[in-house]
Amino acid sequence: MSEIRSIGILGGGQLGRMLSVAASRLGLRCHIYEPGAAPAGDVAHALTTAPYDDEAALRAFAESVDVITYEFENVPTSALDLLESIRPIRPNRRALAVSQDRLTEKTFLNEIGLATAPFADVPSERDLATAVERIGAPSILKTRRMGYDGKGQVRITDPGQLEWTGAPSVLEGFVDFSAEISVIIARAADGQVAGFDPGLNVHEGGILRTTTVPCGLPGKVTTDAVLIAARIANALDYVGVMGVELFVTPAGLIVNEIAPRVHNSGHWTQAGCAVDQFEQHIRAVAGLPLGDGKRHADVVMENLIGDDMNRVPELLASPRTQIHLYGKGEARPGRKMGHVNRITS
């Protein structure tokens, strides 16, 4: 067995919550570090509520655990520097650096031979017209950092419409794709890799609405998707679970983005696999053998967003339906409040 008994998690949202539950099943304790509201604190062994510039709190947190992981990418570098001087961080800092910046991410993917949408660096508003001239329209302007769930993005439908995001950005050309799929891949410190079946994603308003497995695509496509995800994990010397989103196009698979953590599109594994993505991540960062990610059921995962919470009584009465509520307070438009996994066969 691993000598690791306590895991620190940066971020106290729903992913940290579900990681803590998974760790508890393996007899491990989790300590959450979160500057704001922390639904994960309800189920974790310990919670530190402090900003990321509180060096004393960061130091005490790191010294209380054996290893540190994270549920979101945008942890300040200064905080990571301090934490890493005390305890190992898994996944590693390179994975964070690549995923925190869209320009760095796409450059990295191209350098390891993977296809992405055409893109151009747009460091300031005055560079936007040149970028649009190069990439064309329609295209989409995305902030290099901090964007998620459709935030920090501007659609450019013609070269005369040059709306600015307000921050250094990347301009991406539109991709003619027939579907978006995602792969949840796990990699251990010894290089062992385990992939889950690709899921078919449907978004509404820039937010993931459903993920369906099996994805209904040919075996060659799904095999290639898992191999691409494994290639990324190996190139980063990754430890933990990663989400890789891909576009299915006539020319092959194009990588949309990577997330160095457990991922919304992998929630289906809770109902479809003996070892879900959360336990797989805990196993990897704790130095335990990876589990079997083989799917034993067909599943549709649906996010519960905002007023979808009004459907909870109905969902509770639905057969073959697994409900996960995140313990958040106010149900605001666009806010993920929970998800359901429906076993379809």
Token pair for 143 = 């902030």
Statement to judge: residues 248 and 168 lie in one domain = no
Q: Is 100 a domain residue? A: no
CB-facing half-sphere around the CA of 180: CA atoms within 13 A: 18
**Is 110 marked as a binding-site residue?**
no
Statement to judge: residues 233 and 199 lie in one domain = yes
**Is 173 marked as a binding-site residue?**
yes
Statement to judge: residues 191 and 146 lie in one domain = no
Per-run averaged pLDDT (10 residues), the chain, 345 residues: 90 98 98 97 98 98 98 93 98 94 97 97 92 91 78 83 88 94 98 97 94 98 98 98 98 96 98 98 98 96 97 97 96 96 97
Statement to judge: residues 309 and 169 lie in one domain = no
**Is 8 marked as a binding-site residue?**
no
**Is 150 marked as a binding-site residue?**
yes
Under 8 Å CB-to-CB from 63, ≥6 apart: which residues?
A: 86, 87
Q: Is 107 a domain residue? A: no
Statement to judge: residues 149 and 197 lie in one domain = no
**Is 148 marked as a binding-site residue?**
yes
- Specify the CATH number for the domain of residue 317: 3.30.470.20
In 3D space, the residue among 233, 213, 259, 239 whose CA is nearest the CA of residue 114 turns out to be 233
> Are 291 and 279 spatial neighbours (Cβ–Cβ below 8 Å)?
yes
**Is 142 marked as a binding-site residue?**
yes
List the domain range (segments joined by +) for residue 228: 179-343
Under 8 Å CB-to-CB from 330, ≥6 apart: which residues?
A: none
Q: Is 277 a domain residue? A: yes
Amino acid at 128: L
**Is 192 marked as a binding-site residue?**
no
Q: Is 95 a domain residue? A: no
Statement to judge: residues 169 and 214 lie in one domain = no
**Is 175 marked as a binding-site residue?**
yes
Statement to judge: residues 167 and 209 lie in one domain = no
> Are 29 and 7 spatial neighbours (Cβ–Cβ below 8 Å)?
yes
**Is 203 marked as a binding-site residue?**
yes
> Are 75 and 52 spatial neighbours (Cβ–Cβ below 8 Å)?
yes
Statement to judge: residues 194 and 161 lie in one domain = no
- For the beta sheet containing 67-70, the strands, ordered from the edge strand earlier in sequence to the opposite edge, are 46-48, 29-33, 6-10, 67-70
**Is 153 marked as a binding-site residue?**
yes
- Specify the CATH number for the domain of residue 124: 3.30.1490.20
Residue 239, Ramachandran bin (φ over 0: left; ψ between -120 and 50: alpha; else beta) = beta
Under 8 Å CB-to-CB from 254, ≥6 apart: which residues?
A: 115, 116, 117, 175, 177, 246, 247
pTM over 0.85: yes
**Is 149 marked as a binding-site residue?**
yes
- For the beta sheet containing 153-156, the strands, ordered from the edge strand earlier in sequence to the opposite edge, are 119-122, 169-173, 139-143, 153-156
**Is 311 marked as a binding-site residue?**
no
pLDDT at 160: 76
**Is 180 marked as a binding-site residue?**
yes
Radius of gyration of the chain (CA): 20
Give the count of domains, the chain.
3
**Is 281 marked as a binding-site residue?**
no
**Is 328 marked as a binding-site residue?**
no
Q: Is 27 a domain residue? A: yes
Statement to judge: residues 193 and 287 lie in one domain = yes
pLDDT at 159: 79
Q: Is 108 a domain residue? A: no
Opening angle at CA 21, ends 20 and 26, nearest 5: 95
Statement to judge: residues 36 and 124 lie in one domain = no
Q: At what angle do helices 102-111 and 93-100 cross, to 10 degrees?
A: 110
Statement to judge: residues 274 and 210 lie in one domain = yes
**Is 174 marked as a binding-site residue?**
yes
- Specify the CATH number for the domain of residue 32: 3.40.50.20
Statement to judge: residues 338 and 213 lie in one domain = yes
* Domain end position, chosen among 49, 73, 89: 89
pLDDT at 1: 58
